[in-house]
Amino acid sequence: MKEAVEKLKSMDVGKVIENEPLANHTTMKIGGPADLFIEPSSIENLEKTMKVINEYGIKWRAIGRGSNLLVSDKGIEGAVIKLGKGLDHLSINGTELTVGAGYSLVSLSVQISKQGLSGLEFASGIPGSVGGAVYMNAGAHGSDISNILKKAHILFEDGTIDWLDKEQMKFSYRTSILQNDRPGIVLEAVFDLKEGNKQDIVAQMQNNKNYRKETQPYNLPCAGSIFRNPLPNYAGRLVEDAGLKGHTIGGAKISEMHGNFIVNAGDGKAEDVLALIQHVKDTVFERYGIHIETEVEIIGRK
């Protein structure tokens, strides 16, 4: 690992830090250290980084803005690659957007609304990055990324790069091919939007934003929705009906605003969140005979 670190630093690929706490890079403010933390300053430097990682056989994973993630208190073995500055470009050509993986989804939806482009209104309150949104087919308010994605530029774990169109991404509810069959890093995405009425677009975005503000605890450290909806049921409603709102284990608490959110109520640990997740699963199954699965991605040493 030490040789790899020195090589990456000498190549000036971007930030290269050892033992960086992931609590500094997740919206839940939870997570132990990554053995190696890298924030490449460009797509080209990300390619160089992956070559070194493969050369030295280092385990790796990519993160964006750290939403939808629960990182172990023991941290992450190997390298964590953060897609941020340097991969946050945006170009607009008519109704087509080409966006870097590090671009904020909220900022993007605001930016394109000013252009009178419709299709991203659903994303106005999703606190993630474009890359993470494509990776997990993020969605809200009856829409998701699969409805607007034309193609995605992917760096695969073997170092090869290719464009995958919407069909090749194999999108389903909160999943894509990148989580299962072909692990890789989203470099950029091309979205196909539509021309719309600017006032209507802004009004819809404001409505979505107000709804989230009134019903979801984004003023506290959280990871977004914890559980997948076991349709036709909704996880939040099941948790609420089971009387679990406000239930606390250690520093983790089920939000009193929304049953599908667990917040870091102060000095929360991943072990607290995991215990609370298991308690919810057990309670919902005992009461309703329904298995609920996590939507949040749980990563790191066990």
Does residue 175 sit in the same domain as residue 275? no
Q: List the domain range (segments joined by +) for residue 258.
A: 217-296
| Catalytic annotation, pick one of 212, 225, 255, 297 | 225
Q: What does the pLDDT look like over 195-219, one tens digit per residue?
A: 999 999 989 888 888 888 888 898 8
Residues 240, 144: one domain? no
Checking if the pLDDT of 174 tops 90, the result is no
**How many CA atoms lie within 13 Å of 276's alpha carbon, on the beta-carbon side?**
29
Query: Is 117 within a domain?
Result: yes
Clarify whether 55 is annotated catalytic: no
CATH number for 45: 3.30.43.10
Q: Which of 174, 176, 212, 297 is catalytic?
A: 174
Highest mean pLDDT, choosing among 69-78, 105-114, 136-145, 208-217: 69-78
User: Is 225 a known active-site residue?
Assistant: yes
Query: Residues 98, 198: one domain?
Result: yes
The answer on 149 and 64 residing in a single domain is no
- For residue 33, what are its two tokens? 């250290």
pTM of the model: 0.88
Banded model confidence at residue 166, pLDDT cuts 50, 70, 90 = very high
Same domain membership, residue 150 and residue 76:
no
- Lowest-confidence range among 14-18, 30-34, 179-183, 255-259? 179-183
Q: Which of 40, 59, 82 is the last residue of a domain?
A: 82
Which CATH number fits the domain that encloses residue 286? 3.90.78.10
Is residue 174 annotated as part of the catalytic site, yes or no? yes
- Among candidate residues 20, 39, 188, 295, the one labeled active-site is 295
Q: Does 209 lie in the same domain as 97? A: yes
Report whether pLDDT(90) > 90: yes
CATH number at residue 118: 3.30.465.10
Quick one: pLDDT band at residue 180, thresholds 50, 70, 90? confident
Report whether pLDDT(124) > 90: no
Strand, helix or coil at 209?
A: helix
